[in-house]
Amino acid sequence: MNELNDTGSPAEGSQGHDIARHQPSRRSFLRTSLAASLATLGVTGAGSAFAELTSTDGATRLAADGSPRRTVIIDCDPGQDDAIAILFALGAHDQIDLKALTTVGGNVPLNLTERNARIVRDWADKTQTLPVYAGCPKPLMRELITAANVHGRSGLDGVTLHEPRGPLEKQHAVTYLIDTLRAAAPGSVTLVGIGPLTNIATALTAAPEGAKALREIVIMGGAWYQRGNITPAAEFNIYVDPEAASIVLGAGVPVTVVPRDVSVKAPITPERIVPLRALKNRCGPIVADIMAAEVAYQKGRIGVESAPMYDPCTVAYLIDPTMFGGRRVNVAVETTGLLTLGETVVDWNGRSKRPANAMWLTDVDADRFYDTLLARISRLP
Ligand code: BDR
Ligand code: CA
**Percent of the chain having pLDDT more than 70?**
82
Residue 66, pLDDT score: 60
On the CB side of 314, CA atoms within 13 Å amount to 33
Encode pLDDT of 214-268 as tens digits.
999 999 999 999 999 999 999 999 999 999 999 999 999 999 999 999 999 999 9
- 328: which strand partners? 359
CA distance 111 to 106: 11
C-alpha to C-alpha distance for 302 and 116, rounded to whole angstroms: 28
User: Coil, strand or helix: which one is 332?
Assistant: strand
Q: Confidence band (pLDDT; 50, 70, 90) for 68?
A: confident
> Is 311 touching ligand 1 by the criterion CB < 6 Å?
yes
Flag whether pLDDT at 112 surpasses 80: yes
Instruction: Please determine, for residue 199, whether its predicted confidence score (pLDDT) is greater than 60.
Output: yes
Distance from Cα 359 to the centre of ligand 2, integer Å? 19
Does residue 157's CB lie within 6 angstroms of at least one atom of ligand 1? no
Question: What's the pLDDT score for residue 62?
Answer: 63
Contact 136, 110 (CB under 8 A): yes
**Nearest-ligand number for the alpha carbon of 290:** 1
- What ligand has the least distance to the C-alpha of 86? 2
Strand partners, 324: 364
Tell me the pTM. Answer: 0.86
d(CA 288, CA 261): 23
Tell me the best of 76, 77, 80 to mutate to test the pocket of ligand 1, counting ligand atoms within 8 Å of each CB and taking the most. 77
Rounded to an integer, what distance in angstroms lies between the CA atom of residue 271 and that of residue 214? 38
Q: In the prediction, which pLDDT does 294 show?
A: 97
Question: pLDDT tens for residues 337-347?
Answer: 999 999 999 99
Centre of ligand 1 from the C-alpha of residue 358, in Å: 19
Buried b (16+ CB within 10 A) or exposed e, 346-359: bbeeeeeeeebbbb
| Ligand 1 neighbourhood includes 83 CB (under 6 angstroms) | no
pLDDT tier, 64 (very low <50, low <70, confident <90, very high otherwise) = low
8-25 average pLDDT score: 30
Q: How far apart are CA 36 and CA 313, in angstroms?
A: 34
Residue type (1 letter), 284: G
Over the stretch 263-305, which tens digit does the pLDDT of each residue have?
A: 999 999 999 999 999 999 999 999 999 999 999 999 999 999 9
Assign domain 19-377 one CATH number from 3.90.245.10, 3.40.50.2300, 3.30.300.180, 3.40.1190.20.
3.90.245.10
Q: Of 251, 169, 168, 259, nearest to 203 (Cα)?
A: 251
Substitution candidate for ligand 1 out of 81, 144, 200 with most atoms within 8 A of CB: 81
Distance from the alpha carbon of residue 46 to the mean position of ligand 2, in angstroms: 27
Q: Please state the rounded mean pLDDT for residues 116-145.
A: 98
Residue 289, ligand 1, Cβ within 6 A: no
290 lines ligand 1 (CB under 6 A): no
**Contact yes or no for 265/367 (Cβ under 8 A):** no
Q: Which atom of ligand 1 has the smallest separation from the CA of 230?
A: 10
CB distance 205 to ligand 1 below 6 Å: no
d(CA 309, CA 323): 14
User: For the chain, which residues make up each domain, given as ranges?
Assistant: 19-377
Length of the chain: 381
pLDDT bin (cut points 50, 70, 90) of residue 13 is: very low
pLDDT tens figures, 21-61: 333 343 344 444 444 444 444 443 332 222 222 223 333 55
pLDDT digits (tens, 9 = 90+) for 343-371: 999 999 999 999 999 999 999 999 999 99
Within 13 Å, how many C-alpha atoms sit on residue 254's CB side? 12
Q: Which ligand 1 atom lies nearest to the CA of residue 107? A: 4
Q: CA–CA separation, 196 vs 139, rounded Å?
A: 8
